[in-house]
């Protein structure tokens, strides 16, 4: 429950500061076409004890596009991916996280509700 509340506060802060947000990315030149964009992804990378992990490598893959995007979590473990085109089903999006000294992990995502941000949590286990 604490993580969910934390992500909701994080999501609210992005609404106010989205253009200046570090740790974010998207595919292609259509990133600014909000009318055709699907839901964005708001994520956090943590260790198994709930400690935020800065500078983790985030790989976002879309099977239908045969493409991957690589970005890094910011200084408090957050990352943001703009919504893909509405033709991309969020079920076709795979997000993995890695960091030296930790085991790689697939991220878990929250439910998709319209164009509301999709919550992503990636838990890395210390090696």
Cα 32 to chain centroid, rounded: 17
DSSP label at 27?
Answer: S
Q: What is the mean pLDDT of residues 68-87?
A: 94
Say if residue 116's pLDDT is above 80. Answer: yes
**Range in 20-29, 47-56, 68-77, 95-104 the model is least confident about:** 20-29
Contacts of 28 (CB under 8 A, 6+ apart): none
DSSP class of residue 85 equals: B
Please determine, for residue 17, whether its predicted confidence score (pLDDT) is greater than 60: no
pTM for the model stands at: 0.74
The Cα 107–Cα 111 span in angstroms is: 13
> Would the pLDDT of 102 be above 90?
yes
Structural domains present in the chain = 2-126 (2.60.40.1120)
Return d(Cα 23, Cα 39) in angstroms, integer: 17
Confidence of residue 3 (pLDDT cuts 50, 70, 90): low
Range with top average pLDDT, 15-19, 82-86, 99-103: 99-103
Q: Judge whether 27 and 67 are in contact, CB under 8 Å.
A: yes
**Please, are residues 53 and 126 in contact by the beta-carbon 8 Å criterion?**
no
């Amino acid at each position: 429950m604490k993580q969910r509340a934390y992500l909701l506060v994080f999501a609210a802060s992005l609404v106010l500061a989205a253009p200046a947000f570090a740790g974010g990315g998207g595919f292609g030149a259509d990133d600014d076409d909000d009318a055709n964009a699907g839901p964005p992804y708001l994520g956090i990378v943590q260790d198994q004890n709930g400690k935020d992990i800065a500078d983790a490598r985030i790989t976002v893959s879309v099977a239908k596009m045969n493409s991957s995007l690589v970005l890094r979590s910011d200084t408090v473990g957050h990352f943001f991916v703009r919504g893909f085109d509405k033709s991309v089903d969020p079920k076709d999006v795979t997000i993995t996280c890695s960091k030296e000294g930790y085991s790689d992990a697939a991220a878990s995502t929250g439910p998709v509700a319209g164009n509301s941000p999709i919550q992503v949590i990636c838990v890395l286990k210390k090696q």
